[in-house]
Amino acid sequence: MKVTIWNQIRTEFYGRPVYGSYVIEDGVLKVKTPRGEKTTQFAGSNPDWLAERLLRELAAEGKA
């Protein structure tokens, strides 16, 4: 059995706080909010920075 540990993240988008969670599984970073999710390949860069970037993209789409 594999345990998945989600990390909580917070960033700002046009002055308002947005929240989400992220996990890295099998080389893929996944960010989710109650209204959507995004994924990208993870190649060892800073996971917090990359997760916040995806979270801001979700906010821009109205999904965060």
CA distance 63 to 37: 8
The answer to whether residue 11 sits within a structural domain is: yes
Name the residue range of residue 25's domain: 7-60
On whether residue 29 sits in a domain, the answer given is yes
Please report the pLDDT score of residue 58 as a whole number: 98
Domain membership flag for residue 31: yes
Could you tell me if residue 26 is inside a domain? yes
Domain assignment of residue 30, yes or no: yes
Strand partners for 30: 23, 39
pLDDT tens-digit map of 17-28:
999 999 999 999
Q: Is residue 2, in this structure, part of any structural domain at all?
A: no
pTM above 0.85?
yes
Residue 64 has which token pair?
């965060």
Cα–Cα distance for residue pair 16/48, rounded to 1 Å: 19
Give how many domains the chain has, as a whole number: 1
The strands making up 7-13's β-sheet, listed across from edge to edge, are: 7-13, 16-25, 28-33, 36-41
